[in-house]
Amino acid sequence: METFPYITNLLPKDGDARLFPGFFTPAESDRFLDTLTRDIQWKQEPITIMGRQVMQPRLTAWYGDVHKSYTYSGVTMRPLPWNDALLNIRARIEAVAGVAFTSALLNFYRDGNDSMGWHRDNEKSLGPQPVIGSVSFGAARYFHFKHAKDKDLRIKTVLTHGSFLLMRGQTQENWYHSVPKTARVAEPRINITFRIIV
Ligand X SMILES: O=C(O)CCC(=O)C(=O)O
- Which residues contact ligand X by CB under 6 A? 105, 107, 116, 121, 134, 136, 143, 159, 177, 179, 191, 193
Contact letters for Mn ion, residues 119-148 (x by CB under 5 A):
--x---------------------------
Task: State in angstroms the smallest separation of the CB of 138 from ligand X.
Answer: 10
Characterize 147-171 residue by residue with b for buried, 16 or more Cβ atoms within 10 angstroms of its Cβ, and e for exposed: bbeeeebebebebbbbbbbbbbbeb
Collect all residues with Cβ–Cβ distance below 8 Å to 35 and sequence separation of at least 6. 85
Task: State in angstroms the smallest separation of the CB of 121 from ligand X.
Answer: 5
Question: What is the number of the residue whose Cβ is closest to ligand X?
Answer: 191
Round to whole Å and give the CA distance between 161 and 84: 20
CB closer to ligand X, 63 vs 143: 143
Round to whole Å and give the CA distance between 63 and 90: 12
CB closer to ligand X, 8 vs 118: 118
Task: State in angstroms the smallest separation of the CB of 105 from ligand X.
Answer: 5
CB closer to ligand X, 81 vs 117: 117
User: Which residues contact Mn ion (rule: CB under 5 A)?
Assistant: 121
